[in-house]
Chains A and B, each alone.
Chain A
Amino acid sequence: MDYLSFAMDAARRLGADYADIRIQRTQTEMLYLRNLSLKHCNLDELYGYGIRVFKNGAWGFAHNTVFSEEAIEKTVKTAFNIATQSARVAHGTGLTLAHERGYIDTFRSPFSIDPFDIPFAEKIELMREVNQTMLRYNDIKVATFMLECRKDEKLFASTLDSRLDITTVYIEPNFTATAVTAEDSQSRSFREGGHAKGWEWIRSLNLVDKARHVAQEAIMKVHADSLGAEERRTLLLDPIHMSLTMHESVGHPTELDRVLGWEADFAGISFATPEKLRSFQYGSPIVNFVADNTLADGLASAGYDDDGVPNQKWYIVKDGILNEYGTTRATAPFIGQQMSRGCNRATHYYDFPINRIPNLYLEPGKEPLSPNELIADTKDGVLIEGQGSFSIDQHRVNFQFGGDMFWEIKDGKKVRPLKKIIYRSNNPEFWNSVDAICDERYFRTFGVSNCGKGQPGQRGRMTHGGALARFRNIRVGGSQ
């Protein structure tokens, strides 16, 4: 049975101005090993469909798991009825949708070995070996490994006559060693984020070697000193750390729904309001943030978004100036854009798609510059690797970040490890303080798979990236 066409025909018969259906099967394998005890092992499957109906400038959305003509017709009617009720409290004179056309296409993440074809025993064996490697160090009291594999198979149809067949996959391995002394406990992690790759990626990582490194640095860190009171200092941030910083301080503020106030009650709004477009100095002139939903192993790369809009690449910040937003068909018209940038994504079949951060990265420096050269060029500063504490206000202005590993830099050299370092800054001070970015040879990405947003909450995913960058005159110090 062609349920896609049946649903769209039903929506047309009811008089929908627009409608779409997503039939989605999501498989998630989540494994969590703690000190060789498997605390969580689950293979989940969610399968169903969600139908959106747009009528009189308002949305209705209903979901179901029963696949029959009767159930689909009922779900379409529910969505239509909800849209009609929503129109009683219309947004302004009613929402409008940016122009789009229909597409018939397929997309598949670029993976060779499907992680769901790998025997569970192989995964557990690898996780145990990593755990054991870390626990062989006496000071390591807790070793954890969280492995997530996910596959989404989605069929999308719309009343624009789109028919899309999309399969995306990602894998995310995270492990942590925690060193404990009588006075303190400190952790160090391996975290590269999620990558839209197959199991061949995991085999290429040499995780056991990385486990040794993680354990050794956790021990180094627990015995390290902190810094004194907060001072203005130079910061060097590695791409994994910076992925989180850009996610919070650039990605979220440039989601157009937040800019428009649609997230005011929960996630918050944005300081980066439309009158600042193409004039606001978001960063220094060498700062370019690229939105790229065509990025090869990007977690937001799916061919099309859940509006049926093709993936695109554009500048969010160009030469330091706020250039554009991430938009959807419902948000783009508010700033006069004729077309959406394709940032509308839902997590599961039962989720309503919302304006999401695209894959977003800091463009590498154009001049040749290696991390060693950048460190050698820094007289006095702190290098932060990996991600730690993070907190930002609901307008995305004021923020405080920690990290996973810290090094003091003196006279161009890493001289000692540090711990318990935080920095505080704000928009636009922070990105305007960038005076050097390493070149494209050192570009690395980090896939965020747990971006919490929306009411009811959804777990979105996208990839960030960059190369080691230097920030001048930032408030850095030990915690409280």
Chain B
Amino acid sequence: MMQYKDAILKAADYIRAHTSADDFTINGGYNNELHARFAQNGITQHISGTKTWLSLSVAFGAQTGAAEVNELSEEALKNLIKRAETMAHMNQPDPEFVASEQARDIPKTNNYSDATASLSLEDVVSGIQRCVANARGKDARVSGISQRFYGGHCIQTKNGFSGWDDHSTFSHSMTMKRDDVETKVSGSVKDFTTFDMTAMINRLNEQFDALSSPVQHHTGRMPVILRPAAVLDWLWYLMWMYQRRMADDGLSPYSGQIGNEFFGKRFTLRSSIDDAELSTPPFSDNAIVARNINWVNKGVIEEMRVDRDYAKLAGIPANYQANLIVDGGETSEAEMMKMVDNGIIVNRLWYIRSVDQKRGEMTGLTRDGVLYFEDGAVKRAVTNFRWNEIFYDMTRRILALGPSMLIENNARVPAMLIDGFNFVDVTTF
């Protein structure tokens, strides 16, 4: 591990000493990866290796250029500098040029665990063996992937920014299928000692056992309980369009809505540098320092995503989505089912895409298990739906929230009971 860090820092020193640019940003790092992919109860693909990268962005006045390599030899670094500088010399001045970041206080977040980094090939295969044995016990087939990463990321700029972040992640995902029953669980942690394979297998079995013989349900608007993984699925897409520049340019539904209660009162969305369980890269790829951010506070839009270019242009602070947290409530799924006459429970959402960017309308499907409930109890499994929804409007229809849970190593979200969810079509499975 140290050998890569030393090599990258040495390469950064070489670039600092040899570039003639007026300004520069060096971005480098390495990732040691192990990916064991399994399908239909057997391993089908298995990869190991370390990737390194080093990118250099330079400026002569407002003329910019950038290049990237994955080798750290002197020859490669000479070529890197030459390519980036040649590009800048041949470029035209950028009307929105922003100088590289200055020295900043970088928050101390811990994203690395020895327990994760030291996971062996044999450990990972043994974990998969347990999952396959469980599936065989249910006369089912399991497919998925177990992954272990560790590495480091550095940024240095001409203007004094300097940071290094060590990180590690273990993630495991699996889908179990037998005939028309198909369901999935997944999760990731930065510290492998907090990963509980038994709990994950139990959750998979619970979901699996509830899903026999799904039948088609009618379409239309109806109450839905989105389990936490499904909530996270749409949150990533919400954030994709949740950009201040898009709003100010009139391209999204959030135009002119800063400070307004535009989302539902029950919806609070934030990023935190103080949550010890969450992975929180302390700075972004373009040297924006992580901080506590209330994106939406009890329905009120406080901040939208702002990159460094637009921050300078608009005279507002840049920000960076280091992780995502949706504040939860205390309502259990059983209690949610009693709050409405009937509705649908969804494990996950799938293939979410924008339909109408200006209105914020998105489409997608359900996946990995859908249940119909009535009179406070699950009645039957149902086949998947297509839905078309407007996320901000949907949060105005939140009736209840479950406890906020760690779903991925960078996200903590609750289950949501939402009224009038717009199911527009049904599938055959």
CB of B429 closer than 8 Å to a CB of A: yes
A265 touching B384, Cβ below 8 Å: no
We find that the number of chain B residues with CB closer than 8 angstroms to chain A is: 87
| Least CB distance, B279 to chain A, in whole angstroms | 17
B40 touching A260, Cβ below 8 Å: yes
- CB < 8 Å neighbour of A42 from B44, B67, B70, B428: B67
A480 touching B43, Cβ below 8 Å: no
B181 contacts across to A, CB distance below 8 A? none
CB of B165 closer than 8 Å to a CB of A: no
| Interface hit among A33-41, A146-154, A231-239 | A33-41
Task: Tell me the complex Cα distance, A59–B47, Å.
Answer: 9
B353 touching A42, Cβ below 8 Å: no
B94 touching A393, Cβ below 8 Å: no
B424 contacts across to A, CB distance below 8 A? 424
Task: Tell me the complex Cα distance, A265–B177, Å.
Answer: 10
B365 touching A391, Cβ below 8 Å: yes
Given contacts A43-B87, A397-B429, A185 and B70 within 8 Å (CB-CB): no
Task: Tell me the complex Cα distance, A45–B66, Å.
Answer: 12
A: interface residue count bin: 35 or more
Segment 408-429 of B: residues with Cβ below 8 Å from A: 422, 424-429
A185 contacts across to B, CB distance below 8 A? 249-251, 357-358
A41 contacts across to B, CB distance below 8 A? 64-66, 87, 91
Given contacts A45-B69, A398-B386, A400-B386, A91 and B40 within 8 Å (CB-CB): yes
Task: Tell me the complex Cα distance, A357–B271, Å.
Answer: 39
Most central of B35, B39, B68, B92 by chain A CB within 10 Å = B39
| Least CB distance, A58 to chain B, in whole angstroms | 6
A44 contacts across to B, CB distance below 8 A? 55, 67-69
A479 touching B355, Cβ below 8 Å: yes
- CB < 8 Å neighbour of A262 from B143, B359, B367: B143
B46 touching A65, Cβ below 8 Å: no
Segment 372-400 of B: residues with Cβ below 8 Å from A: 384, 386, 388-390
B45 contacts across to A, CB distance below 8 A? 59, 61, 352, 354
CB of B273 closer than 8 Å to a CB of A: no
| Least CB distance, A181 to chain B, in whole angstroms | 8
Task: Tell me the complex Cα distance, A263–B90, Å.
Answer: 45
Given contacts A119-B90, A398-B425, A398-B427, A391 and B364 within 8 Å (CB-CB): yes
A22 contacts across to B, CB distance below 8 A? none
CB of B48 closer than 8 Å to a CB of A: yes
A64 touching B49, Cβ below 8 Å: yes
CB of B128 closer than 8 Å to a CB of A: yes
CB of B352 closer than 8 Å to a CB of A: yes
Task: Tell me the complex Cα distance, A36–B96, Å.
Answer: 9
Given contacts A85-B121, A86-B125, A141-B250, A480 and B356 within 8 Å (CB-CB): yes
Segment 129-180 of B: residues with Cβ below 8 Å from A: 129, 132, 141, 143-145, 147, 173-175, 177
B302 contacts across to A, CB distance below 8 A? none
Task: Tell me the complex Cα distance, A45–B71, Å.
Answer: 9
B94 touching A389, Cβ below 8 Å: no
B175 contacts across to A, CB distance below 8 A? 264-265
| Interface hit among A75-83, A102-110, A317-325, A465-473 | A75-83
| Least CB distance, A451 to chain B, in whole angstroms | 14
B357 contacts across to A, CB distance below 8 A? 185
Segment 83-99 of A: residues with Cβ below 8 Å from B: 83, 85-86, 88-92, 95
Segment 56-100 of B: residues with Cβ below 8 Å from A: 64-71, 79, 83-84, 86-87, 90-92, 94-96
Q: Which residue of B lies closest to A88 (CB)?
A: B125
Would you give 12 A-B contacts (Cβ < 8 Å), ordered by A? Answer: A37-B96, A65-B70, A78-B48, A142-B251, A185-B251, A265-B173, A265-B175, A389-B363, A390-B353, A394-B350, A395-B429, A426-B427
Q: A85-B46, A124-B91 are in contact. List 4 more A-B contacts (CB 8 A).
A: A59-B43, A88-B125, A90-B43, A455-B173
